[in-house]
Amino acid sequence: MDSQAGPEVAELIGRSNRLGADPRNTNYAGGNTSAKGTVTDPVTGQPAELLWVKGSGGDLGTLTPAGLAVLRLDRLRALPAVYPGPDREDEMVAAFDFCLHGLGGVAGSGLAERGAAPSIDTAMHGLVDAAHVDHLHPDAGIALATAADGEQLTRDCFGGRVAWVPWRRPGFQLGLDIAAVRRDNPGGIGVILGGHGITAWGATSAECEANSLEIIATAQRYLDTHGKPEPFGPVVPGLEPLSDAERRARAARLAPVLRGLASTDRRQVGHFTDSAVVLDFLARQRHPELAARGTSCPDHFLRTKVAPLVLDLPPSAPLPDVIARLGELHADYRQQYRAYYERHAGSDSPPMRGADPAIVLVPGVGMFSFGADKQTARVAGEFYVNAINVMHGAEAVSAYAPISEAEKFRIEYWALEEAKLARRPKPRPLAGRIALVTGGGSGIGRATARRLAAEGACVVVADRDGPAAAEAAAELGSADVAAAVTVDVTDEDAVAAALDAAALAFGGVDLVVNNAGLSISRPLLETTAADWDVQHAVMARGSFLVSREAARLLAAQRMGGDIIYVCSKNAVFAGPSNVAYGAAKADQAHQVRLLAAELGELGIRVNGINPDGVVRGSGLFAGGWGASRAAVYGVPEEELGAFYAQRTLLKREVLPDHVAAAVVALTAGELSLTTGLLIPVDGGVAAAFLR
């Protein structure tokens, strides 16, 4: 069989990636593109007209052929004959499955391959009589689409080249409406979709892309030329942004508080934005009024909810007053959201998903956005920046008039949207959790960071060796997964800064692993005061400082949490020539018990792990400890791991991954009522059994 991926596919992917790479053209995962072409039907040998269209949930900027749905045009074009009307248009989504070509995917190998699920916008692409179609969500286009007199502005801006289509929820009827506009306006290049975005078309891929860019650029020029200055009103004295340092410090204090509030119904991860666009909006007189109108484009408010929570205090307000007021505003927000749901919910509406805000705006400081994971939180923030730009443009030339609250509810609680949410994969055990691992740049710490990320956690890799921390974090993935901080755990200010970094990166912290350590092995008479001091400074003092700062943050979040100490068999076993290290580890072990007793009332569980003989992959052993212990036991250093294994009950060598597995066992939920426990991960050393 011949490949079913014609040249149209390569052109479509290139066009999509270029359009999606520029945020002025569309938002993340927003919009869709398509191409039509002819291939040879692998069964009949006859020509077959196909539609290649971006599938549901994909992102234009990163689209690949695997993200396309492939449908037969003859079957798509037959659907209007069986269309039951606008009241039942959702039924047509299931009909797309009967229009798929083969398994609906691009068959680069000549064999049928499964493609992406067709999106709700498939009708728009299939029914419009043009070989190439783009549907995008540019800020400039949505500004016209949400203007109170958007239809007249569209005529003024484009003449007859771009038509106006009144708001209609995405679906089959909207596809028919756009197809009719295309048919009745053969000289047109596209449409402004009221309350929504733009659609453009062309006879070639290049022409379609050029038409899309022309619509966006022309709309932006119109806004720039005809827009009034300061559409958000004047700057309000006292709402100006704090200095960079003050702003970040205040944000670090507020992030865990807000994350706790935003997680009342479901655990959330946070993202902080203090871009110039956000800070200027929040300094302006009209920001409370405009924010209350909410966003309009369906992609926007599905991520941001119908409206944000807006703090009504100046940035100079004392922090305790701000925190108290945020609690009051959050309670009001939840009450108002429930009322919104109850105003519009019908007998067949899905249950209310959660009443907490996704966007919190704090004048002088910035924007906090929340989602089930870091990417979702970040994208919600990006979408609200889009919304600010849209409001600015609409208010500059007219008045911002988003779609009605009832229409927003129809989108937010749409049965098709509910079905999309139900198709999401089951979350991993640590999804939504934020971990900070000290000594995370190597050895046990690096293995632990790797395992926590694999289980779904966002991870802050903390290490005195900054490049090692950065390397370990990069190994875990993008900034949506991991962040690196350079920290000396013996330094109070550095430890506080590391926890602040976690709050700014992900909204807070849930799980802290005290792993930073070192060892100097000498007999008592050869152990110097400096040997004693440095080991106690890093392990005893360092763990104390990290746990203290973590407890402050966890208490502010009010979500409970976990503190894990990586102690040692030597915390309970009197090993030879090991007084300073063993005493420091014993200190850590008792901290576990003391903090478990003290922090339990806050829902914070404190547990420890007693590893032994972790030679391979260990930063501690590589730093000279291995040679020292090998000399003590009279074995070659390269055989030390095997030596340790042979003295255990299980005769197996302990690796960093085994310790990491114990961290997950203690924190992933199966031991949710366990605190104050020290788990041996030593292969079985009877002399170190806890009594």
- How far is residue 346's CA from residue 360's CA, in Å, rounded to a whole number? 29
**Burial classification of residue 292, based on how many CB atoms lie within 10 Å of its CB (0-12 exposed, 13-18 middle, 19 or more buried):** exposed
Q: For residue 590, what are the contacts with CB-CB under 8 A and spacing of at least 6?
A: none
Q: Are 253 and 346 in contact (CB under 8 A)?
A: no
- The CA distance from 221 to 277, in Å, is 19
| Cα Rg of the chain, angstroms | 30
Q: How far apart are CA 287 and CA 110, in angstroms?
A: 56
- What are phi and psi for residue 357, nearest 5 degrees? -70, 150
Q: Measure the CA–CA gap between 249 and 376, rounded to whole angstroms.
A: 24
The CA distance from 246 to 256, in Å, is: 17
Instruction: Identify whether the C-beta of residue 537 lies closer than 8 Å to the C-beta of residue 582.
Output: no
Kindly give the interhelix angle for 492-506 and 542-557, rounded to the nearest 10 degrees: 40
- In this structure, are residues 120 and 170 in contact, taking their beta carbons and an 8 Å threshold? yes
**Could you confirm whether 83 is annotated as catalytic?**
no
Residues 585/536, Cβ–Cβ less than 8 Å: no
**For residues 500 and 544, what is the distance between their CA atoms, to the nearest angstrom?**
17
How far from 590 is each of 317, 539, 675, CA to CA, in Å?
41, 12, 13
Q: From the candidates 413, 565, 581, 644, which is the catalytic residue? A: 581
* Helix then strand then coil, % of the chain, to nearest 5: 50, 15, 35
Q: Which tokens sit at 389?
A: 């730009």
Return d(Cα 276, Cα 244) in angstroms, integer.
12
3-class secondary-structure state, position 610: strand
Helix spans in 456-578 (H) = 466-476, 492-506, 529-535, 542-557
Active site residues: 581
